[in-house]
């Protein structure tokens, strides 16, 4: 009796630790494992892509083949067997016409994730309730897009990138690869060759997108790496807030995720891009877990344009990404707010790049890193001011918190200035949770783990405040869950 | 054609720890990302050898006003016994020259120093002894004429034994011709030893220096150091500090002024191994004309180095459109009970402060000079020995007069 109870209790704990660890069985249409020109052609053919896109993919593939793996990063990246991955997997059925046609199992998946689509439709009907449009990515192909009509009325395009290739070929051709070229780096190159889906957003001139646009990425089928491609274009005077949230099923096989996100902000436009990343981090001993190697870059092309990145990174075995801003426009603004939590054997090498080209361009970087267990975390950032960036300003703050004496926290900022009117400030600190704060909480009857979560949430406050409401609550909970087992 | 490195090794008659085809590191090497050594390549450096004889008869005054010194003179990498005060050394201080042993690491600068160094000068302060007068290490380059390009490498090994204390000033300058020098400094501070180490790197335009200081501190040892870099050529100083003893304390401060085509590179690497040690880095720099300032600072806290206090600060002013500042302040931490912080700023003079001074009738030029001087003075003030501080401040002020916007 007691044994049964214990087993139940333990399995309940295990499930809580990784709440989103489940697999949905839906029939898959899968390409054979491996990568070669034929696979690239197959993907392009399956997507019914125009000739120029196939050529673009093939160019990327050829460069990728000759490009060596990067070696400068801090995390220990095991040799990746690119031939042991399926590069194409799509749900077999044809695209559903409405939510009713969507596989009920898929809807169930979203329900578990806490984003039931139907409920959101209902929610939207409620006066004053926040509106969230979901372009759900189930493995590699978008299967449901809600709110499309409402957005269409304002001329907003929010669809899968494959659809955009067909419906808005000129926009895609003009902007795809214009921020992250297909030859950018090993993983972006791979993505360019084999990307299967992702989101496309176009906000027309002067339009303030009336709702938060959201994509839930979810890696589902065994061994399918995800190669999402996101392209967001904010035309003159427009505004959009985009949410990206990620969860993945629990399993042992390491999975590669090499996404590319490109943002383009024209004159007076603003893009706010928020991410909560909670992919499977591997178990306590570092077995399994996702490799999250993402290239995210925004171009502030226009005058007074603004791009703001906010990320809460708690998952993945290895997180390796630098959401960046190219501040080309006069008075353009770039922001990067980041919370990264690594526990157990997780590794993260993340940060940002702010390239100041335009006059009076400004950037702000707030990075909070929390390392626990045997984890290792690095902030790596670049602030570069080119000679023409008259009056450029940057402020950078990187704080690291260490929990336990077996983890590591590192800060590697590069600061380069070539304009005498530019002002750059960088500060960084590393410390552990203050004994006083912990004692204060404990003496008020708060448990140790809860106290740590509370203190860490306070440490991250500046970043959490920049998250949209929908994400803030979930992200706060995540911080607590991610740090479980890190004290005592 | 394999470049200046192989050329120098040929002149030395040994290749040391270099590969047959190895050349100077390029900017692709992370450690040399901001310092381009290509400007060394076009010059036919001739390596100074033991049998060569120089024509230095008296020392140039590089640090005017520095009094009561014991002079140790190193010309083109070799100890000059006639110019040095070897006969009047105070009790507890010894100076000897002998063949060079191997350096301390595997980095390019260690290997370069090993390959080119022909003599090792050992300075020892005995246990419990305090050497009152300042020991002045003069490094000078002498060439047969103004066109001469001399390469040389000096190695000085300083040991301050348990409880000993000393103040050492080193200066680097040219008497005639230009120099490519590779000075290395190995310093060992034993238990409770105290050392003031103040360096003035004053190489002339067209010269180059790639220097290395490898410093180890035992329990309770205290280092107070300062690097004044006014070199007009390429000046790189790597300071490698190992906090091996508990409660050891080290200050590595510095100020630099770049003018003309100068490249000034302060690279530091502080490793905390023992518990409760304190390290402070404090750098201030000003670059004008087409010059370039580089700061690469790293604090590594090893597992187990609990109670570490490691601070690092680098602030720089850009005075001209063609000047450049590159900073990479780095923290690598593997212990949790630590207080580590770094700060880095790059900017220009504060407009409010300028306005305040202008409103009080001070001319624009004077106001700028005043603010620049006080900006750098914050670093110079870190020098613990008052007499040295005043001399360094005076040298710095004199140089600032010649920096143009």
Higher pLDDT, A341 or A113: A341
Task: Give the 3-state secondary structure of residue A29.
Answer: strand
> Residue B25: its pLDDT value, please?
95
Q: What are the chain A neighbours of B300 within 8 Å (beta carbons)? A: none
**Nearest chain B CA: its distance from A368 CA (Å):** 14
Place of tokens 């990320």: A311
Continuous H helices in A33-102: 37-46, 51-66
Number of domains in chain B: 1
A185-201 tens-digit pLDDT: 999 999 999 998 788 99
> Residue A142: its pLDDT value, please?
47
Host domain of residue B261: 46-400
B60-71 tens-digit pLDDT: 889 999 988 999
Decide if pLDDT at B254 tops 60: yes
Q: Which of B325, B329, B338 sits opposite A430 (nearest CB)?
A: B338
Are A64 and A257 in contact by the 8 Å Cβ rule? The answer is no
Q: What's the mean pLDDT when you consider all of chain B? A: 94
Q: Which residues pair with A316 in a beta bridge?
A: none
Q: How far apart are CA A343 and CA A322, in angstroms?
A: 20
Instruction: Kindly report the backbone phi and psi dihedral angles of residue B175, in degrees, each rounded to the nearest multiple of 5, phi listed first.
Output: -95, -45
The model's pTM is: 0.87
Q: How far apart are CA B388 and CA B384, in angstroms?
A: 8
Q: Percent of chain A having pLDDT more than 70?
A: 77
Task: Give the 3-state secondary structure of residue B174.
Answer: strand
Q: What are the chain A neighbours of B339 within 8 Å (beta carbons)? A: 429-431
Residue B161: Cβ within 10 Å count = 18
> Residue A85: its pLDDT value, please?
81
Contact A426/B344, CB-based, under 8 Å? Answer: yes
* Domain presence at residue B41: no
Place of tokens 């390290």: B279
Average pLDDT over residues B14-23: 91
Q: How far apart are CA B61 and CA B398, in angstroms?
A: 14
Average pLDDT over residues A156-163: 88
Are B321 and B289 in contact by the 8 Å Cβ rule? The answer is no
Average pLDDT over residues A298-325: 94
Among residues A406, A423, A411, the alpha carbon closest in space to that of A368 is found at A411
* Domain presence at residue B3: no
Q: What's the mean pLDDT when you consider all of chain A? A: 81
Q: How far apart are CA B76 and CA B79, in angstroms?
A: 9
Q: How far apart are CA A342 and CA A479, in angstroms?
A: 10
The verdict on B321 touching A (C-beta cutoff 8 Å) is: yes
The DSSP H or E segment spanning A119 is: helix A117-125
Q: Which of A64-73, A147-156, A389-398, B255-264 has the lowest mean pLDDT?
A: A147-156
Best residue in B281, B314, B344 for a mutation probing chain A (most A CBs within 10 Å): B344
Residue A441 DSSP symbol: H
B199-247 tens-digit pLDDT: 999 999 999 999 999 999 999 999 999 999 999 999 999 999 999 999 9
Q: Which residues pair with A91 in a beta bridge?
A: A28
* Domain presence at residue B22: no
Q: What are the chain A neighbours of B336 within 8 Å (beta carbons)? A: 402-405, 407, 432
Q: What are the chain A neighbours of B326 within 8 Å (beta carbons)? A: 414-417
Instruction: Name the residue in chain A with its Cα closest to that of B317.
Output: A420
Residue A26: Cβ within 10 Å count = 17
Instruction: Tell me the Ramachandran region of residue A292: left when phi exceeds 0, alpha when psi lies from -120 to 50, beta otherwise.
Output: beta
**Nearest chain A CA: its distance from B353 CA (Å):** 15
Task: Give the 3-state secondary structure of residue B142.
Answer: strand
> Which whole-number Å values give the CA distances from B114 to A92, A470, B51, in the listed order?
67, 62, 19
> Residue B390: its pLDDT value, please?
96
DSSP A283-329: -TT--S-EEEEEEEEEEE-STT-EEEEEEEE---SEEEE--EEEE-S
Number of Cα atoms under 13 Å in the Cβ half of residue A432: 24
B133: pLDDT confidence band, cut at 50, 70 and 90? very high
* Domain presence at residue B20: no
* Domain presence at residue B395: yes
Tell me how many residue pairs between chain A and chain B have CB atoms under 8 A apart. Answer: 117
Decide if pLDDT at A95 tops 60: no
B212 contacts: CB under 8 Å, gap ≥ 6 = B103, B109, B110, B113, B182, B183, B184, B185, B237, B238, B240
Q: How far apart are CA B317 and CA B320, in angstroms?
A: 9
Q: How far apart are CA A377 and CA A248, in angstroms?
A: 21
Best residue in A342, A397, A417, A434 for a mutation probing chain B (most B CBs within 10 Å): A417
The verdict on B30 touching A (C-beta cutoff 8 Å) is: yes
Place of tokens 């969507």: A102
Q: What are the chain B neighbours of A407 within 8 Å (beta carbons)? A: 334, 336
Q: How far apart are CA A336 and CA A353, in angstroms?
A: 9
Task: Show the CA angle centred on residue B294, arms to residues B289 and B298, nearest 5°.
Answer: 165
Contact B306/A405, CB-based, under 8 Å? Answer: yes
Q: What are the chain B neighbours of A431 within 8 Å (beta carbons)? A: 338-340
Both tokens assigned to A455: 């203190």
* Domain presence at residue B285: yes
**Nearest chain A CA: its distance from B153 CA (Å):** 31
Contact A405/B337, CB-based, under 8 Å? Answer: yes
Q: What are the chain B neighbours of A429 within 8 Å (beta carbons)? A: 339-341
Average pLDDT over residues B244-256: 97
**Nearest chain A CA: its distance from B230 CA (Å):** 20
**Nearest chain B CA: its distance from A352 CA (Å):** 14
**Nearest chain B CA: its distance from A18 CA (Å):** 27
Contact B303/A410, CB-based, under 8 Å? Answer: no
The DSSP H or E segment spanning A151 is: helix A148-153
Decide if pLDDT at A9 tops 70: no
Decide if pLDDT at A247 tops 80: no
> Which whole-number Å values give the CA distances from B112 to A82, B14, B15, B188, B212, in the listed order?
41, 11, 10, 21, 10
* Domain presence at residue B140: yes
Q: Which residues pair with B295 in a beta bridge?
A: B266, B327
> Which whole-number Å values give the CA distances from A248 to A14, A76, A256, B72, B174, in the listed order?
15, 22, 12, 69, 66
ipTM field: 0.90
Contact A422/B346, CB-based, under 8 Å? Answer: yes
Among residues A275, A185, A186, the alpha carbon closest in space to that of A230 is found at A275
Task: Show the CA angle centred on residue B99, arms to residues B96 and B100, nearest 5°.
Answer: 100
* Domain presence at residue B138: yes
Q: Which of A411, A418, A423 sits opposite B330 (nearest CB)?
A: A411
- Torsion angle of C-alpha atoms A63, A65, A68, A69, degrees rounded to 10: 110
Contact A431/B339, CB-based, under 8 Å? Answer: yes
Range A460-471 burial, b when 16+ CB lie within 10 A, else e: beebbebbbebb
B229 contacts: CB under 8 Å, gap ≥ 6 = B201, B235, B237, B254, B255, B256, B257, B264, B266
Q: Which residues pair with A430 in a beta bridge?
A: A400, B340
**Nearest chain B CA: its distance from A411 CA (Å):** 5
Contact A420/B320, CB-based, under 8 Å? Answer: yes
Q: What are the chain B neighbours of A421 within 8 Å (beta carbons)? A: 348
Instruction: Name the residue in chain B with its Cα closest to that of A413.
Output: B328
Q: Which of B30, B321, B327 sits opposite A415 (nearest CB)?
A: B327
Average pLDDT over residues B254-274: 97
DSSP B56-82: --S---SSTT--SEEEEEEETTEE-TT
> Residue A21: its pLDDT value, please?
54
> Residue A250: its pLDDT value, please?
46
Contact B346/A424, CB-based, under 8 Å? Answer: yes
Decide if pLDDT at B252 tops 70: yes
Contact B348/A420, CB-based, under 8 Å? Answer: yes
Instruction: Name the residue in chain A with its Cα closest to that of B342.
Output: A428
Q: Which of A410, A421, A426 sits opposite B333 (nearest CB)?
A: A410
> Residue B372: its pLDDT value, please?
93
């Amino acid at each position: 009796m007691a044994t049964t109870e214990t087993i139940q209790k333990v399995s309940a704990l295990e499930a809580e630790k990784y709440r989103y660890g489940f697999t949905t069985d839906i029939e898959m249409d899968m390409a054979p494992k491996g990568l070669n020109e034929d696979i690239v052609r197959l993907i392009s053919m399956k997507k019914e892509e125009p000739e120029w896109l196939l050529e673009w993919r093939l160019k990327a593939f050829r460069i990728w083949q000759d490009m060596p793996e990067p070696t400068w990063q801090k995390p220990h990246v095991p040799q990746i067997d690119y031939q042991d991955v399926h590069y194409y997997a799509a749900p077999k059925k044809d695209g559903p016409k409405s939510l009713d046609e969507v596989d009920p199992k898929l809807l169930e998946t979203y329900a578990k994730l806490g984003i039931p689509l139907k409920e959101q439709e209902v929610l939207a009907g409620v006066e004053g309730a926040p509106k969230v449009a979901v372009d759900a990515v189930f493995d590699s192909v978008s299967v449901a897009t809600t709110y499309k009509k409402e957005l269409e009325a304002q001329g907003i395009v929010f669809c899968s990138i494959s659809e955009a290739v067909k419906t808005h070929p000129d926009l895609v051709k003009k902007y795809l690869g214009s921020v992250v070229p297909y030859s950018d780096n090993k993983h972006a190159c791979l993505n360019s060759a084999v990307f299967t889906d992702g989101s496309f957003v176009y906000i027309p001139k002067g339009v303030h997108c009336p709702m938060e646009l959201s994509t839930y990425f979810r890696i589902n089928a065994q061994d399918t790496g995800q190669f999402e491609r996101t392209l967001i274009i904010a035309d003159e005077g427009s505004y959009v807030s985009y949410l990206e949230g990620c969860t993945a099923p629990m399993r042992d096989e390491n999975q590669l995720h090499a996404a590319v996100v490109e943002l383009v902000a024209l004159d007076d436009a603003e893009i706010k891009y928020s991410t909560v990343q909670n992919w499977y981090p591997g178990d306590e001993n570092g077995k399994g877990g996702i490799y999250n190697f993402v290239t995210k870059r925004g171009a502030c092309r226009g005058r007074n344009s603004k791009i703001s990145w906010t990320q809460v990174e708690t998952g993945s075995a290895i997180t390796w990404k630098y959401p960046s801003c190219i501040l080309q426009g006069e008075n353009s603004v770039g922001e990067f707010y980041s919370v990264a939590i690594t526990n157990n054997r997780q590794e993260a090498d993340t940060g940002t790049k702010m390239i100041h080209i335009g006059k009076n361009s400004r950037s702000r970087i707030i990075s909070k890193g929390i390392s626990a267990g045997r984890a290792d975390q690095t902030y790596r950032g670049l602030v570069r001011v080119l000679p023409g960036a008259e009056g450029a300003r940057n402020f950078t703050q990187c704080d690291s918190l260490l929990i336990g004496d077996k983890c590591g926290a590192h800060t590697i900022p590069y600061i380069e200035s070539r304009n005498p009117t530019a002002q750059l400030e960088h500060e960084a600190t590393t410390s552990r949770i203050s004994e006083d704060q912990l004692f204060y909480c404990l003496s008020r009857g708060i448990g140790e783990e809860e106290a740590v979560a509370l203190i860490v949430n306070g440490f991250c406050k500046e970043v959490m405040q920049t998250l949209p409401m929908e994400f803030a609550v979930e992200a706060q909970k995540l911080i607590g869950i991610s740090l479980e087992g890190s004290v005592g | 054609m394999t470049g200046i490195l192989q050329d120098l090794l040929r002149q030395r008659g040994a290749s040391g720890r270099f590969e047959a085809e190895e050349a100077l590191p390029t900017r692709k090497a992370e450690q040399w990302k901001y310092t381009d050594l290509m400007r060394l390549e076009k010059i036919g450096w001739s390596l100074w050898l033991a049998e060569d004889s120089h024509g230095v008869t008296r020392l140039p005054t590089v640090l005017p006003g520095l009094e009561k010194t014991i002079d140790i003179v190193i010309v083109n990498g070799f100890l000059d016994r006639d110019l040095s005060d070897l006969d009047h050394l105070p009790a507890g201080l010894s100076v000897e020259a002998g063949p060079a042993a191997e350096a301390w690491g595997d980095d390019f600068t260690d290997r370069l120093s090993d390959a080119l160094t022909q003599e090792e000068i050992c300075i020892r302060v005995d246990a419990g002894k305090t050497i009152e007068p300042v020991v002045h290490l003069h490094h000078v380059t002498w060439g047969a004429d103004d066109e001469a390009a001399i390469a040389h490498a000096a190695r000085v090994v300083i040991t301050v034994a348990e409880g000993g204390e000393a103040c050492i000033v080193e200066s680097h300058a040219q008497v005639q011709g230009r120099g490519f020098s590779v000075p290395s400094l190995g310093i060992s501070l034993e238990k409770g030893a105290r050392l003031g180490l103040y360096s003035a790197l004053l190489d002339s335009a067209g010269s180059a220096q790639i220097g290395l200081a490898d410093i180890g501190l035992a329990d309770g040892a205290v280092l107070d150091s300062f690097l004044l870099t006014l070199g007009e050529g390429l000046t790189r100083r790597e300071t490698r500090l190992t906090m091996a003893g508990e409660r050891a304390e080290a200050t590595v401060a510095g100020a630099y002024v770049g003018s003309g085509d100068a490249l000034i590179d302060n690279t530091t690497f502080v490793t905390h191994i023992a518990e409760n040690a304190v390290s402070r880095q404090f750098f201030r720099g000003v670059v004008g004309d087409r010059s370039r300032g580089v700061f690469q600072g790293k604090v590594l806290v090893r597992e187990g180095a609990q109670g570490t206090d490691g601070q690092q600060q680098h602030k720089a002013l850009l005075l001209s459109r063609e000047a450049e500042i590159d900073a990479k302040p780095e923290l690598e931490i593997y212990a949790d009970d630590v207080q580590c912080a770094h700060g880095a700023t790059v900017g220009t003079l504060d407009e409010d402060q300028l306005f305040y001074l202008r409103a009080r009738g001070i001319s624009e030029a004077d106001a700028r000079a005043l603010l620049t001087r006080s900006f750098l003075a914050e670093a110079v003030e870190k020098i613990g020995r008052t007499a040295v501080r005043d001399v360094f401040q005076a040298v710095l002020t004199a140089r600032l007069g010649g920096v143009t916007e």
